[in-house]
Amino acid sequence: MKKFKGIAVTLCVLVCILLLSSCAHNQSVAECLKGQPYGFWSGLLHGFIAPFDLIGMLFRDDVTFFAQNNNGAWYAFGFLVGSGGWGFLGGKGASRRRHS
């Protein structure tokens, strides 16, 4: 019986989230899609600066995390590689075990 209550509560929460999110306002990005689309190198740069973009998004409405006017897979791949580049901050030095 407890398992059924847990499933019922989870289902109710998911339905409520679905109903509340279905009323969300959609913004038109037509203005953002003008001009030259961003490619791999722009995606790489945007991936590197992603942590700063995330902080900027908290305080400003005109900062975005991912370029709307991109060329698809190459931009996404560059963004992925760029954001993975932050892994060097925790490289070998962070994984070394300290011996006493």
Average pLDDT of the chain to the nearest whole number: 75
What's the rounded mean pLDDT across residues 67-81?
83
Contacts with 40 (C-beta within 8 Å, 6 or more apart), sequence order: 74, 75, 77, 78
Q: Take residue 32 and report the two structure tokens written for it.
A: 């953002």
Question: Tokens 């600066």 map to which residue?
Answer: 49
Q: Is the pTM of this model over 0.75?
A: no
pLDDT tens-digit series, residues 18-36:
777 666 566 666 666 677 8
Among 78, 81, 75, which Cα is nearest to 37's? Answer: 75
What dihedral do alpha carbons 19, 21, 23, 28 form, nearest 10°? -150
pLDDT tens-digit series, residues 38-60:
888 888 888 888 888 888 888 88
Dmax over CA atoms of the chain, in Å, equals 61
61 pLDDT band (50/70/90 cuts)?
Answer: confident
